[in-house]
A and B are shown apart, each in its own frame.
Chain A
Amino acid sequence: MRTIRFLLQKEFRQIFRNRSILAMVIVMPIMQLLILPLAANYEVKNINIAVIDNDHSSYSQKLITKITSSGYFKLTGYCFSFKQAYRLIETDTADLILEIPHDFERNLIRENEQKLFVAVNAINGTKANLGSVYLLNIIQDFNAEIRLQFIQPVRFNPQPVIDITSSNWYNPMLDYHVFMVPGILAVLVTMVGGFLTALNIVKEKEVGTIEQINVTPIKKYHFILGKLIPFWILGNVVFTLGLLVAWLVYGIVPVGSLFLLYGFIAVYLLAVSGFGLLISTFCESQQQAMFVMFFFIMIFILMGGLFTSIDSMPEWAKTVTKFNLVSYLIEIMRMIILKGSSFKNIVPQLGVIAVFALVFNGWAIFNYKKTS
């Protein structure tokens, strides 16, 4: 016990003397939580649209006004031929082309039918997809409006129509901040817990201090615990700071129990620090450790369900995410913070993370050899 106390004392002294670590721990979560949720936004605004109006009628004018006034589209071209409009797509000034045919108004009134042509630049997949969906919605709406003008509403709809009204639970306004912030916080906690522990032991190897430690009668698990606990505490500090930012800036208050949230984070930090420790036992230099950690963190983040939904991944990828620590944390954070899940709901994930914590730390202690 005395040994561990002194190891911790030494470790904290070193941490507090290392300005860059302190800055990382305090500034990083605040900055990233302020900037990233604003930037990482799925809502597509400012879709550039080019219109080829071959009709020049009051109806075509009405349609264009309706599109531009929706707030999602920006009219960047009003062209006379498809060729001209296509050039706008090539030069990237337009994302969408809407072509209104000749006699749009006449055919619409006389024959009750008309066709529109929409071309989409699909280089930016998300933007193209959402843009065309928005556009179709607007056109449908427009369609309904003119229908009302021409056809006297009869008591019963001549065609049966299913009208869909949806409501978004747990995030009624579909506010992206609400689910990005917990996700980003999850990534931050992982970075601090994993990177700092991995780099710390490797630094001792690089500087040679581990040599001096290895000839002492210090126990392996003493040494590992002495490294684990400080960064476990720092991880909790980062998490607390993150929760404060989420509350003060985005007004996100966990719906579920704070106690439960910290309980899960406690186990999670053990797992992720254990992972960092394990990597450090394999690496000889900070450079190596850094790159190996980056490799895993990149996969963890991209396959963690922060940016793309895990449910839409192929089967093999879903299997991979079963071993992705971050995906569990992102899921649990969203569950507890947004949905207010209780202990019973998170037991499976908690169990998995606890097993990871045991495996990683046990493996790290086993793999850390005082004799080579």
Chain B
Amino acid sequence: MSTSHPFLQVENLARVYPSPTGGDPVTVFDHVNFRIHKGEFVCVTGHSGCGKSTILNILAGLDAATIGNVFMDGREVAGPSLDRGVIFQSHALMPWLTVLENVSFAVKSRWPSRTKTQIRDHAMRYIELVGLKGAEHKKPSQLSGGMKQRVGIARAFSIEPKMLLMDEPFGALDALTRGVIQDELLKICAETQQTVFMITHDVDEAILLSDKIMLMSNGPHARIAEIVNNTLPRPRERSAIHKHAHYYPIRTHLVDFLVSRSKLFGGQRDAPDAPSSPSVFDPEDMVEAAPAEATVVPLPQAGKPHIHLVNA
């Protein structure tokens, strides 16, 4: 994680939708700037309607920004690419294909000249990685929700993308299944050093998985209001992370943001579309200064910027 050369760079992104009733167009988000480094796991959270999914779709190349640019590996993102794997919330498996065929379809798209056996072996390796060996000839309709999402994960990882984009991948799963799959994802990401951008509504999920959590204020004119450095050491264990001194400061900070600060943020600017920079929260500062109470950073004063931010 060097701060010198960002892998993904998002500059001044904004999305304006024409009003459905014919009135003024609605700016869902604007002045969105952030950087993601190679191997970093970044979670984004915020209330519904702040444009998280739109940002993810723009990163994927499935949607276009009204203003602003996205650069990955020095090149501008201008459309979908095999360099960015997407895990959809609805798993998006093709129901007429088996598990193996679904993954092979992706592998064949990535390496069209490979032989059938090579494609099959490659796909099987990723099916095994998500623990679905033995179910490869089943159709998605024969699988549980958790298993379907695992196929989605296997498919996204199988093309060995430079970056993985996940839109609330576990939102539709029950808590137990979600926990199991999160652990698996944690393991796979540790093995592959995958760069990940993930949307989640689940604070605990964000803490367990991420290196950095971006908090978005409410729309319209939603922004990345705060960035939280997740300083919990890796490897992380679900059963042990809450014992770490940084766990509760981070968690309280996130929950407080979602409960109260997310809606106040917009009101603190001179004009709705005035630029703003996110403040950075780092639990290391907090624990050293005041271990117990002062977990909330006052908004206008940014904490020590551990990561370089692009100014709007």
Tell me whether A and B are bound partners.
Answer: no
